[in-house]
């Protein structure tokens, strides 16, 4: 089967989307108030600024949204509410403007392109940020997209809009970092030791890495089977990843790993010995104090009751 070559046309390409913690907290609060324990999703507007291909999302607000589960073409977004809210937000911060919209997906849906077209009336090139409010894997819970027009080179079909993935990251100003630290300080469980927390974090990171490797393997299998077209950009990124992997067959590297591991194990072993000695010392001191208290109690004179006349 011949693969039809396509060409993507975009007025201005978006290179990166930056999402601030305040936006994530607002979206999670919106989801918990409206669609918690349901299969529905929530939709809202993203505010911020864009400069040289970088979209900085600094604020957001919820918008009433309804859609038919059976017929994706039936949906309603209250744009009058959106315009009223945006006019009030502009009074607070005139520098923020509409940069796109968000959805709690957790994946793209059929009517997303139609909703995306509505926001073209407010911003020339809006972005769609999908927030996974219930992530099952470690990693950034955001996925950003923008729409481009796909044109068939053989001109047998009409051009159509398609979503293109764009890298996203989480960033914060200094004030936001302080607020997030205080929030995490309240959420942190003080009963869990630091070592257990670090081990849990390492395990979660390894699980996330395993999930990404499985995803890469699934993509390569689909390419080999001919179910997906060959994407040279993705293969170049994979080749860069493999080139960055260290060569573990070098004798000096193996020796360095062994020495480092032995040093760490020695510190752990000494720490265990010191902890055991201190515990034994405290136990002996406790026994000695108990014996001294018993001697003091035994040395006290016992009052003899007077005999009855």
Residue 245 DSSP code: S
Cα distance between residue 280 and residue 275, in whole Å: 9
Report whether pLDDT(89) > 50: yes
Report the pLDDT value the prediction gives residue 6, as an integer from 0 to 100: 43
Residue 176 DSSP code: H
What is 91-128 written as a DSSP string?
A: HH-TT-EEEEEEE--SS--TTHHHHHHHGGGT-SS-EE
Report the pLDDT value the prediction gives residue 26, as an integer from 0 to 100: 92
Q: What is the mean pLDDT of the chain?
A: 84
With 0-12 / 13-18 / 19 or more C-beta atoms within 10 angstroms meaning exposed / middle / buried, residue 85 is middle
Residue of 6, 5, 2, 47 lying closest to 27 (CA atoms)? 47
Q: Could you tell me if 59 and 102 are in contact, meaning their C-beta atoms sit under 8 angstroms apart? A: no
Report the pLDDT value the prediction gives residue 1, as an integer from 0 to 100: 34
Q: Which of the following CATH numbers is that of domain 16-186: 3.40.50.720, 3.20.20.70, 1.10.10.10, 3.40.140.10?
A: 3.40.140.10
Q: Could you tell me if 130 and 91 are in contact, meaning their C-beta atoms sit under 8 angstroms apart? A: no
Report the pLDDT value the prediction gives residue 208, as an integer from 0 to 100: 83
The secondary structure of 24-63, three-state, reads: HHHHHHHHHHHCCCCCCCCEEEEEEEEECCEEEEEEEEEE
What are the start-end ranges of the H helices in 130-231? Answer: 174-187, 194-224
Q: What are the pLDDT digits (tens) for 28-67?
A: 999 999 988 888 899 999 999 988 889 999 999 999 999 9
Report the pLDDT value the prediction gives residue 35, as an integer from 0 to 100: 87
Report the pLDDT value the prediction gives residue 3, as an integer from 0 to 100: 38
What confidence tier does 308 reach under pLDDT thresholds 50, 70, 90?
Answer: low
Cα distance between residue 241 and residue 154, in whole Å: 35
Report the pLDDT value the prediction gives residue 153, as an integer from 0 to 100: 64
Report whether pLDDT(10) > 60: no
With 0-12 / 13-18 / 19 or more C-beta atoms within 10 angstroms meaning exposed / middle / buried, residue 100 is buried
Report whether pLDDT(309) > 60: no
Report the pLDDT value the prediction gives residue 42, as an integer from 0 to 100: 93
- Rounded alpha-carbon distances, angstroms, from residue 19 to 67, 108, 170: 26, 19, 5
Report the pLDDT value the prediction gives residue 183, as an integer from 0 to 100: 73
Report whether pLDDT(281) > 90: yes
What confidence tier does 185 reach under pLDDT thresholds 50, 70, 90?
Answer: low
Q: What are the pLDDT digits (tens) for 237-279?
A: 899 988 888 787 888 888 888 999 999 999 999 999 999 999 9
What confidence tier does 9 reach under pLDDT thresholds 50, 70, 90?
Answer: very low
Report the pLDDT value the prediction gives residue 191, as an integer from 0 to 100: 57
């Amino acid at each position: 089967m011949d693969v039809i070559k396509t060409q993507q046309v975009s007025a201005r390409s978006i290179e990166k989307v930056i999402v601030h913690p305040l936006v994530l907290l607002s979206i999670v609060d919106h989801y918990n108030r409206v669609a918690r324990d349901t299969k529905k999703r929530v939709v809202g507007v993203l505010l911020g600024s864009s400069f040289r291909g970088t979209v900085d999302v600094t604020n957001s607000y919820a918008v009433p949204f309804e859609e038919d589960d059976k017929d994706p073409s039936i949906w309603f977004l209250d744009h009058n509410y959106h315009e009223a809210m945006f006019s009030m937000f502009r009074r607070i911060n005139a520098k923020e403007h509409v940069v796109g919209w968000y959805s709690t997906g957790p994946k793209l849906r059929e009517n997303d392109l139609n909703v995306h077209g509505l926001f073209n009336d407010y911003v020339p090139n809006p972005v769609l940020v999908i927030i996974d409010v219930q992530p099952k894997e470690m990693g950034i819970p955001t996925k950003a997209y923008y729409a481009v027009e796909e044109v068939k080179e053989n001109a047998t079909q009409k051009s159509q809009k398609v979503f293109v993935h764009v890298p996203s990251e989480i960033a914060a100003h200094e004030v936001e970092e302080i607020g997030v630290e205080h929030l995490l300080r309240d959420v942190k469980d003080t009963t869990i030791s630091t070592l257990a927390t670090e081990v849990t974090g390492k395990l979660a990171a390894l699980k996330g890495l395993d999930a990404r490797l499985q995803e890469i393997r699934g993509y390569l299998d689909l390419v080999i089977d001919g179910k997906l077209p060959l994407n040279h950009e993705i293969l170049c990124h994979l080749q860069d990843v493999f080139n960055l992997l260290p060569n573990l067959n070098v004798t000096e590297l193996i020796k360095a790993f062994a020495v480092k591991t032995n040093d760490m194990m020695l510190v752990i072993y000494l720490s265990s010995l010191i902890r055991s000695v201190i515990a034994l010392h405290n136990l002996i001191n406790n026994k000695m104090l108990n014996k001294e208290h018993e001697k003091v109690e035994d040395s006290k004179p016992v009052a003899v009751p007077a005999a009855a006349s």
